[in-house]
């Protein structure tokens, strides 16, 4: 499955998470569907090229991760996320796994390492860290723009999940098609918010937090 869209992110401190929801609701956004808890295992190569590309501002870059929702280990997905400035595309593939929480990391690592068709195996990627968060979903009144709010973001090293660090940010993200870009600009102007979108990566911010704590090898 391939998805392409534009993403704009806005960063708030965690104590303003309720304010972020109010911003959407007063601008006629509505809940799209129930909140979900998302878990991602991010991958990188031995040189941490995904980290370096992001920090160095490389416009075209790739990110690999394994993702599941609400601790449903029967539906685990491998995602290749490609980004070119604000344009984002994803290739998503469901993994054929029958696992439980105890052997989760080792089973994922073994499966991806032994799959010769998988980009992770072909480029010597390895599991680096885990990120958990709660995501709330909204949609604009004309159904042109989706918005998500990510809260309770925490991270752990992939092979030591008991060492948890909580990140201080709440993330508001707008997502829309290229055809709706001008509509988004007009809509955002009408919202009258004195904020600017910023570059933000859960993988990069988690990596930095874990590295500062001496938890990245």
Domains defined for the chain, CATH in brackets: 2-212 (3.20.100.30)
- Helices within 56-180 (DSSP H only): 104-114, 119-122
Tell me if the pTM is above 0.85: yes
**Parallel, antiparallel, or unpaired: how do β-strands 126-139 and 36-44 relate?**
antiparallel
What does residue 179 show for φ and ψ, rounded to 5 degrees?
A: -65, -20
Give the chain's end-to-end CA distance (angstroms, integer). 33
Q: Which pLDDT belongs to residue 122?
A: 57
pLDDT at 2: 53
Say if CB 121 and CB 114 are below 8 A apart. Answer: yes
pLDDT value for 110: 78
How far apart are the C-alpha atoms of 81 and 5, rounded to whole Å?
A: 11
Which residue, chain included where needed, has tokens 């509509």? 183
Looking at residue 157, its pLDDT comes to 96
Give the residue ranges of DSSP H helices in the chain. 17-26, 49-55, 104-114, 119-122, 181-191, 202-212
Q: Which residues pair with 127 in a beta bridge?
A: 43
Residues in the chain: 217
pLDDT on residue 108: 82
The pLDDT value given to residue 194:
72
User: What is d(CA 68, CA 77) in angstroms, rounded to the nearest whole number?
Assistant: 6
Residue labelled with tokens 């534009």: 6
Q: Are 66 and 108 in contact (CB under 8 A)?
A: yes
Tell me the pLDDT of the chain (217 aa) as tens digits.
556 788 899 999 999 999 999 989 988 999 999 999 999 999 999 899 999 999 998 888 888 999 999 988 888 899 998 888 778 888 898 887 766 666 777 878 777 776 645 655 556 788 999 999 999 999 998 888 999 999 999 999 998 999 999 999 999 999 998 888 888 888 888 777 777 888 899 999 999 999 999 999 7
Q: How far is CA 174 from the centre of its chain?
A: 13
């Amino acid at each position: 499955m391939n998805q392409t869209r534009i993403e704009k992110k806005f960063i708030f401190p965690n104590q303003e998470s309720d304010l972020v929801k109010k911003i959407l609701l007063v601008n006629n956004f509505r809940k799209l569907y129930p909140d979900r808890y998302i878990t991602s295992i991010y991958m990188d190569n031995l040189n941490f090229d995904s980290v370096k590309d992001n920090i160095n501002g490389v416009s075209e870059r790739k990110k690999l991760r394994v993702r599941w929702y609400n601790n449903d280990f029967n539906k685990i997905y491998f995602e290749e996320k490609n980004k070119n400035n604000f344009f984002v595309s994803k290739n998503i593939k469901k993994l054929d796994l029958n696992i439980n929480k105890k052997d989760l990391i080792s089973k994922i690592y073994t499966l991806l390492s032994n799959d010769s068709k998988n980009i992770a195996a072909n480029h010597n990627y390895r599991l680096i860290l885990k990120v958990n968060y709660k995501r709330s979903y909204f949609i604009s009144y004309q159904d042109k723009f989706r918005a998500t709010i990510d809260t309770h973001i925490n991270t752990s090293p992939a092979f030591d999940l008991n060492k948890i660090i909580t990140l201080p940010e709440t993330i508001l993200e707008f997502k829309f098609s290229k055809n709706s870009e001008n509509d988004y600009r007009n809509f955002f102007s009408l919202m009258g918010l004195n904020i600017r979108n910023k570059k933000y990566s859960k993988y990069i911010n988690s990596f930095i937090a874990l590295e500062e704590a001496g938890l990245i090898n």
